[in-house]
Amino acid sequence: MERKEQIGTEPSAFFDRVSLWERVDNDMDLLRDLVRIFGQEYPVIVQKLDAAMEARNGAEIAKLGHKVRGAALQFSAHRVAATAARLEALGTAGSLDGMNEACEELKAGIAELLDGLRLMTNGAR
Amino acid sequence: MALNSDIKEVSQMMGRRPETLNILLVEDSVMDARFITGLLKGSASGFKWRHVVQLAEALSLLKSIRFDIILLDLNLEDSFGHETFARILSAAPSTAILVLSASDDEELAIRTVREGAQDYLVKGSFDRRLLLRSIHYAYERKQSEEALRQSEATVRSIFENSLDGIIITENQGFFMEANSAAGTITGLPHDALKGRSLFDFLGQEQENEWRTLRDSGSGRTRFRVRRNDGAKRLVECGFSANILPGCHLMVLHDITEQQDLEERLRQSQKMEAVGRLAGGVAHDFNNLLGVITVYAEQLHLSAVEPQQRLRAEKIMNATDRAAALTKQLLAFGRRQVLSPKLLDLAMAMADITNMVESMVEADVQLKIRVQEEGLGLVYADQGQIEQVILNLAINGRDAMSAGGVLSIEIKSYTSPEGSSEIPPGEYVLLSVADTGVGMDDETKALIFEPFFTTKEMGKGTGLGLATVYGIVKQSNGHITVHSEKGVGSTFNIYLPRAAVTESAGAMTPKHVPERISLTGTETILLVDDENDLRNATAEYLAGCGYKVLDARDGREAIELSGKLEGNIDLLISDIVMPNVNGRTLVNHMRETRPTTRVLLISGYTDDAIIRHGIFLENAAFLQKPFTFQLLSLKIRALLDERTQ
């Protein structure tokens, strides 16, 4: 409870910080590590996603969407996870309709999630 | 490593979880891997893990390391979805697999769990508590499954490899399960037994027995199983009812061979007992025949009227036949010692023709053909050759239950150079052929084996042809068999032809009851506990001019010898006597009167005498019953030999 207070309880539109904090078992070091890794992976993912979009590579888009979904779920970021799932499904189906929108929405969502996570972990410091 | 591995094995065998669980984490997301290992690291439970990001790495590790748990992400760089799971499962079927996936795919989750995954966790849906619980449950469940699988494999292995037939039946006797040995007993592949009824293999008369057994709950009984090919097997059946509701266990032990062996042993022991009995009877019978023979002979010699002479001859002929019967009795008991001599097979055949004729059934035609000239002689024991002919004749007769022709042929035979069947040389060939049921090759290969018989129980000893084989081999002969099923069999016996042309038998005097000229004046000590025989013999020998001293047993003979100052030229002594027996007497005489010749007489066979401890060195032997003429010849030969 003591540490929970340190991360703050204000609601976030991008992730459930209480749920996340419980899942990492109130382990700030672990959470920071996760955020750091996510921060390192994010630009690579976005780069790959752009390349796949340009190449209209549905399978790659699905694979990247799946990967982002996994990460988002770990951070209890359900809205980002839902967008990633949508992109994954579109990629799997090879459907171009709405793919650009979904991709852009996902990239924005990831950026905001990362900001929120950094805020959470820095605020706790 | 080996020690740790052993400790783990023991721990697992004892049903305890090892202190540290060895985990393989297969996850291509660095962040997810960090998340999971972070949760594991903070746990109080002991974990060791290896992290790989590709399936290929995982498969490679699994070849050399046995993990307790595999935490598996399905979507990897080099593999995707269900295939990832399938390949890991195939590489580590005994390891608990926990699937971690970002896909909340119910269908995939159920499929992987159904195929062997212990759990399917969706990323983002579990915390440390849930992860650890899933890991521990997965491990325990897998251990239980493995133990159960191992137990089932053990039971299945016992079931499949049991040398006894194991059958599970339902209430009505239909087979639910049967193992290979049950297949062997019933003559069907075991997988063809499912659904068959017990009563397909048992006679209906055994149905009640089975029902009684089933109702009694458990027990043992014996069944005669009729195999699919018609052959019958005797099985001992252990039965346990309702090992599972409505399932009954039958364990079948095939005791056919064991039973046969026991039966053969009983038969052999019976033969041995009969043989001993025959030997004993023959002894007493021979003594009695001895008395009858000598008195009949005396009657014959003293007869005035032709009628009286004829009557005495009839008595002597009857004793001859009785003596022959005794001889057969001894042959039957195999108590005769081989005493080979030059033998004319034609004469031997003539001697037993009547017996062969009396043995064959009315619907069997007997044909005997003997080469009349130039047959040649063989070196063999007449009694044993007679036994050979009789055994083969009996064998032929038994092969023709519906009648036929039994042919016995004796002729000379020259085996040419290069013959593969019989070594080159001159032989006398004895052939015994029947037109009976014949034999297949399998049977033919076994017929000379002791105790092998195709005859029904109680009809054959299985020793007949074995004895034939032994005698032929002992006589340096050869035997061949030609047989065809449904046509008949021919046994050919090749005995080497002797270089000489006159048999010893030709020297044996015939039964001509004339007062012989073989008389003498020497002193003979006659010892026999059979008073009648001793008296008659003494009277006869005295009539021949000999000085006869007689004694009732060895002790009396030793006393008499001690008192006598003059010579005793010949000791004629029985062997088995009360007080002092023949052996002691002979030894005494050899010490006190070394020049005295010895002639032993006995109703026992020479084999029995040897076993009695008397060796026939420097002592002649005459088996009772004997004729006076034969006795006189023997006496004269012994005494004349001494003077030469």
Query: Which amino acid makes up residue B226?
Result: R
Q: What is the DSSP letter of B194?
A: T
How far apart CA B221 and CA B252 sit, in angstroms, is: 10
Q: What is the rounded average pLDDT for all residues in chain A?
A: 85
Q: What is the DSSP letter of B27?
A: -
φ, ψ for residue B428 (rounded to 5)? -105, 125
Give domain B2-158's CATH number out of 3.40.50.720, 3.90.1150.10, 3.30.70.600, 3.40.50.2300.
3.40.50.2300
pLDDT confidence of residue B319: 87
Nearest CB to B34 within list A23, A37, A72: A37
Nearest CB to A66 within list B30, B42, B75: B75
Q: Which residues of A7-45 are buried (b: 16+ CB within 10 A; e: fewer)?
A: beeeebebbbbeebbebbbbbbebbbbbbebbeebbeeb
pLDDT confidence of residue B463: 57
Q: Do B125 and A66 touch (CB under 8 A)?
A: no
A19, A26, A37, best to mutate vs chain B, most B CBs in 10 Å: A37
Cβ-contact B557, B591 below 8 angstroms? no
C-alpha distance from B21 to closest chain A C-alpha (Å):
21
Nearest CA among B34, B33, B68 for reference residue B48: B68
How far apart CA A93 and CA A58 sit, in angstroms, is: 7
Write down the residue that tokens 């008991």 correspond to.
B333
Number of other residues whose CB lies within 10 A of the CB of residue A123: 11
A14, A24, A69, A74, best to mutate vs chain B, most B CBs in 10 Å: A74
Which residue of chain B is at minimal alpha-carbon distance from A88?
B103
CATH fold of A3-121, please?
Four Helix Bundle (Hemerythrin (Met), subunit A) (1.20.120)
pLDDT confidence of residue B214: 81
Domain boundaries, chain A: 3-121
Q: Do A37 and B103 touch (CB under 8 A)?
A: no
Cα dihedral across residues B539, B543, B549, B554: positive or negative:
negative
Query: Which amino acid makes up residue A15?
Result: F
Q: Do B124 and A38 touch (CB under 8 A)?
A: no
pLDDT confidence of residue B190: 84
pLDDT confidence of residue B514: 41
pLDDT confidence of residue A123: 61
Q: Which residues of A touch B126 (CB under 8 A)?
A: 23
Which of A 85-124 lie inside 8 A of B, CB atoms?
none
* Whole-number Cα distances in Å, B466 to B270, B421, B450: 17, 20, 5
pLDDT confidence of residue A5: 40
Number of other residues whose CB lies within 10 A of the CB of residue B620: 17
Q: Do A67 and B102 touch (CB under 8 A)?
A: yes
Nearest CA among B331, B336, B345 for reference residue B495: B345
Nearest CB to A37 within list B30, B102, B127: B30
Cβ-contact B382, B505 below 8 angstroms? yes
pLDDT confidence of residue B451: 56
Nearest CA among B272, B269, B268, B278 for reference residue B461: B268
Q: Do A73 and B102 touch (CB under 8 A)?
A: yes
Q: Do B124 and A70 touch (CB under 8 A)?
A: yes
Which residue of chain A is at minimal alpha-carbon distance from B78?
A63
How far apart CA B537 and CA A99 sit, in angstroms, is: 138
How far apart CA B347 and CA B376 sit, in angstroms, is: 11
Q: Which residues of A touch B124 (CB under 8 A)?
A: 23, 70, 72-76, 81
Nearest CB to A25 within list B29, B32, B39: B39
Q: How many CB pairs under 8 A join A and B?
A: 62
C-alpha distance from B24 to closest chain A C-alpha (Å):
20
How far apart CA B200 and CA B142 sit, in angstroms, is: 43
Q: Do B31 and A34 touch (CB under 8 A)?
A: yes
Cβ-contact B433, B488 below 8 angstroms? yes
Which of A 48-87 lie inside 8 A of B, CB atoms?
63, 66-67, 69-76, 81
Q: Do B34 and A41 touch (CB under 8 A)?
A: no
Nearest CA among B86, B73, B119 for reference residue A67: B73
Query: Which amino acid makes up residue B128?
Result: R
Nearest CA among B11, B4, B45, B6 for reference residue B143: B11
How far apart CA B349 and CA B367 sit, in angstroms, is: 12
Which residue of chain A is at minimal alpha-carbon distance from B34?
A34
Count of helices and strands (H, E) across chain B:
19, 22
Which residues, in sequence order, are CB contacts of B10 under 8 Å at separation 6+? none
Residue A107 has pLDDT above 90, yes or no: yes
pLDDT confidence of residue A8: 54
Query: Which amino acid makes up residue B227?
Result: R
Which residues, in sequence order, are CB contacts of B120 under 8 Å at separation 6+? B99, B101, B108, B109, B112, B113
Half-sphere CA count of B297, side-chain side, radius 13 A: 28
Q: Do B42 and A23 touch (CB under 8 A)?
A: no
Tell me the pLDDT tens digit for each residue of B543-560. Answer: 889 999 999 999 999 999
C-alpha distance from B97 to closest chain A C-alpha (Å):
19
Share of chain A residues as helix, strand and coil, in percent rounded to the nearest 5:
80, 0, 20
Q: Which residues of B touch A58 (CB under 8 A)?
A: none
Dihedral in degrees, nearest 10, Cα atoms B319, B325, B330, B331: 140
Name the pTM for this structure.
0.49
Q: Do A74 and B39 touch (CB under 8 A)?
A: no
CATH fold of B341-502, please?
Heat Shock Protein 90 (3.30.565)
pLDDT confidence of residue B618: 57
Q: Which residues of B touch A74 (CB under 8 A)?
A: 31-32, 35, 123-124
Q: Do A73 and B31 touch (CB under 8 A)?
A: no
C-alpha distance from A100 to closest chain B C-alpha (Å):
22
Tell me the pLDDT tens digit for each residue of B303-361. Answer: 889 999 999 998 988 888 787 667 655 555 445 545 678 889 998 898 888 878 877 87
pLDDT confidence of residue B274: 61
Nearest CB to A71 within list B31, B75, B127: B31
Share of chain A above pLDDT 70, in %: 87
Which residues, in sequence order, are CB contacts of A50 under 8 Å at separation 6+? none
Nearest CB to A25 within list B34, B125, B128: B128
How far apart CA B466 and CA B457 sit, in angstroms, is: 18
Bridge partner list, B364: B404
C-alpha distance from A67 to closest chain B C-alpha (Å):
8
How far apart CA B76 and CA B28 sit, in angstroms, is: 6
Residue A89 has pLDDT above 70, yes or no: yes
Ranges in chain B, pLDDT < 50: 1-14, 333-334, 337, 504-516, 607-608, 610-611
Nearest CA among B240, B40, B267, B218 for reference residue B132: B40
The residues on B that touch A, with CB distances below 8 Å, are: 29-32, 34-35, 38-39, 42, 75, 102-103, 122-128
Q: CB of A44 within 8 Å of any CB in chain B? A: no
Q: Do A74 and B38 touch (CB under 8 A)?
A: no
DSSP string, B250-313: EEEEE-HHHHHHHHHHHHHHHHHHHHHHHHHHHHHHHHHHHHHHHHHHHHHHH--SHHHHHHHH
pLDDT confidence of residue B328: 57
Number of other residues whose CB lies within 10 A of the CB of residue B225: 25
Q: Do A22 and B42 touch (CB under 8 A)?
A: no
Number of other residues whose CB lies within 10 A of the CB of residue B330: 24
pLDDT confidence of residue B358: 79
Nearest CB to A71 within list B29, B39, B125: B29
Q: CB of A39 within 8 Å of any CB in chain B? A: no
B162-254 classified as CATH 3.30.450.20: yes
C-alpha distance from B93 to closest chain A C-alpha (Å):
27
Q: How far is it between the farthest Cα atoms of chain B?
A: 140
Cβ-contact B27, B53 below 8 angstroms? yes
Q: Do A24 and B123 touch (CB under 8 A)?
A: no
C-alpha distance from B56 to closest chain A C-alpha (Å):
19
Cβ-contact B497, B438 below 8 angstroms? no
Return the H-helix or E-strand segment holding B170: none
Q: Which residues of B touch A60 (CB under 8 A)?
A: none
Residue B140 three-state SS? helix
Class of domain B523-642: alpha beta
Q: Which residues of B touch A25 (CB under 8 A)?
A: 39, 42, 127-128
B27, B29, B31, best to mutate vs chain A, most A CBs in 10 Å: B31
How far apart CA B644 and CA B583 sit, in angstroms, is: 27
| Model ipTM value | 0.84
Dihedral in degrees, nearest 10, Cα atoms B320, B323, B329, B332: -70
